[in-house]
Amino acid sequence: MKEAAPRAVHLTDYAPFSHIVEHVHLSFDLRRSATRVTARIGMRPNPDATRGPLRLDGEGLTLLWARIDGAEVAPRLDATGLTVDAPDAPFVWECAVEIDPSSNTALEGLYISNGMFCTQCEAEGFRKITYYPDRPDVMAPFTVRINSDLPVLLSNGNPGASGDGFAEWEDPHPKPAYLFALVAGDLVAHSDRFTTSEGRDVALNIWVRPGDEDKCAYAMDALKRSMAWDERVYGRAYDLDVFNVVAVDDFNMGAMENKGLNIFNARYVLASPETATDDDYARIESIVAHEYFHNWTGNRITCRDWFQLCLKEGLTVYRDQQFSGDERSHAVQRIGDVQMLRGRQFREDAGPLAHPVRPASYIEINNFYTATVYEKGAELIGMLRRLVGDDGYAKALDLYFARHDGQACTIEDWLAVFQDATGRDLTQFKLWYSQAGTPVLDVDWRLEDGTLTLKIDAAIPETPGQTDKALPVIPVSLGAIARDGREVLATTVIEVSETPTRVSFDIGTDDAVPSVLRNFSAPVTLNLDLAKADRAVLLAHDTDPFNKWEAGRMLAKAALTAMVTDGADSDPDFLAALQPVLADETLDPAFRALVLGLPSDDDMAGTLALAGQTPDPDAIAAARRDLGHAMAVDLESTLTALYDGMQVHGPYDPAAADAGKRALRNAALAYLTKLDGGDRARRQFDAADNMTDSLGALVPLIRIGAADDALARFYQSWKDHRLVLDKWFSLQIAAAPGTEGAAIAARLVEHPDFDWKNPNRFRSVIGALGMNHASFHKADGSGYALVADWLIKLDPVNPQTAARMTTLFETRARYDADRQGLMRDALDRISAAPDLSRDTGEMVGRMLD
């Protein structure tokens, strides 16, 4: 059913639910196209709410009957739920509905993926399963009975009775409906056990389709390490007797933290050396940790309403980043996190979709599972910690868990524990939650008579609906490095709480370079004028690994900018500065691999736009290719030494040490392939016994247009393995040279294996085109048109995935008038599609405003 004009929901409209739900019992008779769901729900009037009839959310349900205290009632039904008069006393609501999982292509609510019943309820999918107050502040214990002939029947909590054709589950922990889950199918488990610090013996199971059980070991290992880490670092132990994880082939997002029954996109569970790359392993580790950590930050303490989404997501991302840093390398983790933040969140913040970490209104909440809520939300936690110190952070978190366990909370509650635990006033910090836009710091520096003086001007650019902004307090971490390499100012954190802010430090020399925003201490754009030679000093000597890497990145950006805008040659000083870092055996190979990487085309386009220029996608791609070629020529002997020296011997191990060596070796190969016509890459491709080395060779071959044979063989080897076949689709588009990606994508949508209703496969083709900057922005508009055609086609089938991918157009304002016009045409076409979903309608509407 279609609502006429979708209405916005506002943060300020919050009111508690009219009733308190005391217990929920659900019974499922699972049938593919006619599943019956019977609910028995104990409720009583909420003394803290205004009295009124009972209003329950429900969408796409066929109501069979409804009773209150055993007597049949006739609720008033409409497109979004039902209303019924209820007694002014405790009562039992019962109803039966019928739903059709087999036709649920939106993958929200109860649906079928490859013969397996599964659910996705966050944010508002539970209302597609039964009538319920589908809001996170209504928390209740659930019991569930599943009737089905399928062999494995799972729901939340601990297992209860089971037998032929049924299974019962009991979840004693009160939870909001968005954490409900059910899975039924022909599944096999990879099992293990974990004993918690409280002595609880927990059964761990990873459920997969038969044949995939040999690809679960790493996810299980990551799960056990996550459980131990959360006990050690946050004092949080697991609270049920079982922890189930299920891998699902058709899934809109990465994974979901349903209580005791996490459901994952299969690509973030399944891994073997032959099928998964080191990056896949790292992502599996971080997502397993993320979902597990939600058990405390999200499930036991949840959100009062969806405006508070960052309360659980920002904190949980922060926690999974900390975990991955502890398990691998903090430096490498931080650089990766910042690249992701800049690549996705800064980009979002600079365009029409900019919104605060805690938005003030939304039309479709699924559109707000964004880099801003997640990644900038995590940065806010990191800044808080910098402001109150490690001890203050630990005390605040202890208080958070003690005070709010079992509650549905707000950002105000969160900040109050920091104020109460540390005495720190966070009024000015709180602005970070309500103001969109990436703050810009303009730093002037002077060094005289041994004193380093900084003057910092700070401002936040305008964003849609927000013009005049106040300055939030910004923690800026800094140090200084003498030109002879000594650190003359150790890391110090200053607080920028007014503009301008002036600080000075006695550093005892005038021959030094400031190192500002160490470890990327705040999510801001830093404008700091440093001479090339000074950046080279930091690249060579900075003790802060982030700023060491950043110095190289700034040199690369300056070189590329000069090439694009002035037709300059590649910068010999940059090449000279790189060499000693690459060859420095004391540096982690994974770090050196990051130093060797160039900023992406999209990053360069955003950088040029911020500098007031109109990025030319073809010129950017050409400059990047030319600089890469110059690096290969200039650094050939170093790169060759790395390629030969970084070989990993022995059986494949996904842990950081070996993965770092492979990363550096493959980064070297990518450059050498520009010189040797692909000889090394072809040899490596033929010999590879793991996916990292296989793709490490395949991608450079694609980039030089010499991969036809390798791609054909890759397809033959992997055509029956869907996750690997996704890589085959996406890489030949994303890594295609020049603007060829557009035509290749147009060809691949005709491929018999392009199963466009599977979100992973759709993203592997249409999303991959968006990742190839020059191809997506091809001057004839064919890239934009192809994406628009497919989003129009996907929207009625799967609005969430379609809406998310419209963000490919969010950078429209950066480009020249012709491209802007073509992008607008694409958006107009999507916007004019008949029966456009609320999801896509909201996104396109914001971009066309």
CB of 290 to ligand ARG, least distance (A): 6
CB of 799 to Zn ion, least distance (A): 21
Q: 3-state secondary structure string, 677-703?
A: CCHHHHHHHHHCCCHHHHHHHHHHHHH
By a kind-dependent CB cut-off of 5 to 8 A, residue 250 interacts, out of Zn ion, ligand ARG, none, with none
Give the orientation angle of helix 545-566 with respect to helix 601-610, to 10 degrees.
80
Of 111, 369, 429, 714, the one binding ligand ARG (CB under 6 A) is: 369
Taking the least distance from each CB to ligand ARG, the nearer of 306 and 432 is: 306
Name which of residues 205 to 264 contact ligand ARG (CB under 6 A): 253, 255-257
What 3-state class would DSSP assign to 269? coil
CB of 366 to ligand ARG, least distance (A): 4
CB of 374 to ligand ARG, least distance (A): 7
The tokens for 206 are 């990873």
Taking the least distance from each CB to ligand ARG, the nearer of 260 and 437 is: 260
Taking the least distance from each CB to ligand ARG, the nearer of 178 and 784 is: 178
By a kind-dependent CB cut-off of 5 to 8 A, residue 184 interacts, out of Zn ion, ligand ARG, none, with none
Give the orientation angle of helix 278-293 with respect to helix 691-703, to 10 degrees.
120
* Number of amino acids touching Zn ion (CB under 5 A): 2
The tokens for 846 are 């914001």
CB of 215 to Zn ion, least distance (A): 23
By a kind-dependent CB cut-off of 5 to 8 A, residue 123 interacts, out of ligand ARG, Zn ion, none, with ligand ARG
Q: Residue 36: name the closest of 26, 47, 51 by CA.
A: 26
Of 35, 104, 295, 366, the one binding ligand ARG (CB under 6 A) is: 366
Name which of residues 304 to 333 contact Zn ion (CB under 5 A): 313, 316
Taking the least distance from each CB to Zn ion, the nearer of 302 and 435 is: 302
DSSP 165-226: TEEEEEEEEEE-GGG--EEEES-EEEEEEEE-TT--EEEEEEEE-TT-GGG-HHHHHHHHHH
Taking the least distance from each CB to Zn ion, the nearer of 167 and 222 is: 222
CB of 180 to ligand ARG, least distance (A): 13
- Tell me the pairing of strands 54-57 and 35-45: unpaired
Which residues on adjacent β-strands are paired with residue 454?
A: 445, 503
Taking the least distance from each CB to ligand ARG, the nearer of 255 and 489 is: 255
By a kind-dependent CB cut-off of 5 to 8 A, residue 111 interacts, out of Zn ion, ligand ARG, none, with none
Q: Is residue 313 a contact point for ligand ARG (CB under 6 A)?
A: yes
CA angle 242, 248, 252 (to 5 degrees): 115
User: Alpha carbon of 461 to those of 66, 354, 809: distances in Å?
Assistant: 54, 11, 20
Taking the least distance from each CB to ligand ARG, the nearer of 253 and 411 is: 253
What lies within 8 Å, CB to CB, of 211 at 6+ separation is none
Q: Which amino acid is at 675?
A: L
User: Alpha-carbon torsion 113, 118, 122, 124, what sign?
Assistant: positive
Q: In the β-sheet with 451-459, what is the strand arrangement from edge to edge?
A: 501-506, 451-459, 440-448, 525-528
Q: Residue 745: name the closest of 706, 707, 771 by CA.
A: 771
Q: Is residue 795 a contact point for ligand ARG (CB under 6 A)?
A: no
Report d(CA 19, CA 350) in Å as an integer: 42
Active-site residue, 810 included = no
Q: Is residue 289 a contact point for ligand ARG (CB under 6 A)?
A: no
Taking the least distance from each CB to ligand ARG, the nearer of 57 and 291 is: 291
Which residues on adjacent β-strands are paired with residue 45?
A: 19
User: Alpha-carbon torsion 689, 695, 701, 706, what sign?
Assistant: positive
By a kind-dependent CB cut-off of 5 to 8 A, residue 315 interacts, out of Zn ion, ligand ARG, none, with none
What phi, psi does 645 have (nearest 5°)?
A: -85, -20
Q: Is residue 123 a contact point for ligand ARG (CB under 6 A)?
A: yes
CB of 655 to ligand ARG, least distance (A): 24
Of 249, 278, 291, 616, the one binding ligand ARG (CB under 6 A) is: 291
Taking the least distance from each CB to ligand ARG, the nearer of 255 and 663 is: 255
By a kind-dependent CB cut-off of 5 to 8 A, residue 369 interacts, out of Zn ion, ligand ARG, none, with ligand ARG
Taking the least distance from each CB to Zn ion, the nearer of 168 and 313 is: 313
CB of 610 closer than 8 Å to CB of 525: yes
By a kind-dependent CB cut-off of 5 to 8 A, residue 836 interacts, out of ligand ARG, Zn ion, none, with none
User: Alpha-carbon torsion 213, 218, 219, 222, what sign?
Assistant: positive
CB of 633 to ligand ARG, least distance (A): 44
Considering 291, 375, 550, 842, which one is annotated as catalytic? 291
CB of 572 closer than 8 Å to CB of 559: no
- What does the DSSP 8-state code read for residue 346? I
CB of 374 to Zn ion, least distance (A): 7
Report d(CA 571, CA 375) in Å as an integer: 34
CB of 390 to Zn ion, least distance (A): 24
CB of 800 to ligand ARG, least distance (A): 6
Q: Is residue 362 a contact point for ligand ARG (CB under 6 A)?
A: no
CB of 795 to ligand ARG, least distance (A): 16
By a kind-dependent CB cut-off of 5 to 8 A, residue 122 interacts, out of ligand ARG, Zn ion, none, with ligand ARG
The tokens for 395 are 């005390």
Q: Is residue 839 a contact point for ligand ARG (CB under 6 A)?
A: no
By a kind-dependent CB cut-off of 5 to 8 A, residue 255 interacts, out of ligand ARG, Zn ion, none, with ligand ARG
Name which of residues 211 to 230 contact Zn ion (CB under 5 A): none
Taking the least distance from each CB to ligand ARG, the nearer of 297 and 570 is: 297
Q: 3-state secondary structure string, 392-428?
A: HHHHHHHHHHHHHCCCEECHHHHHHHHHHHHCCCCCC
Taking the least distance from each CB to Zn ion, the nearer of 316 and 758 is: 316
CB of 169 closer than 8 Å to CB of 156: yes
Q: Residue 365: name the closest of 122, 129, 106, 16 by CA.
A: 122
* Long-range Cβ pairs for the range 820-826 (8 Å, 24+): 822/781, 822/784, 822/785, 823/784, 824/848, 825/781, 825/784, 826/781, 826/784, 826/785, 826/787, 826/788
What lies within 8 Å, CB to CB, of 534 at 6+ separation is 483, 513
Q: Is residue 122 a contact point for ligand ARG (CB under 6 A)?
A: yes
What 3-state class would DSSP assign to 297? strand
By a kind-dependent CB cut-off of 5 to 8 A, residue 379 interacts, out of Zn ion, ligand ARG, none, with none
Block residue for tokens 């609502």: 3
* Number of amino acids touching ligand ARG (CB under 6 A): 11
CB of 313 to Zn ion, least distance (A): 5
Here's the x/- map for Zn ion, 265-304, by CB under 5 A: it reads as: ----------------------------------------
By a kind-dependent CB cut-off of 5 to 8 A, residue 333 interacts, out of ligand ARG, Zn ion, none, with none
DSSP 452-504: EEEEEEEE---BTTB-S-PPPPEEEEEEEEETTS-EEEEEEEEEE-SSSEEEE
What's the start-to-end Cα distance of the chain, in Å?
26
Name which of residues 69 to 98 contact ligand ARG (CB under 6 A): none
By a kind-dependent CB cut-off of 5 to 8 A, residue 410 interacts, out of Zn ion, ligand ARG, none, with none
By a kind-dependent CB cut-off of 5 to 8 A, residue 593 interacts, out of ligand ARG, Zn ion, none, with none
Residue nearest to ligand ARG (CB): 369
Q: Which residues are catalytic?
A: 291
Binding residues (CB under 6 A) for ligand ARG: these are: 122-123, 253, 255-257, 290-291, 313, 366, 369
Binding residues (CB under 5 A) for Zn ion: these are: 313, 316
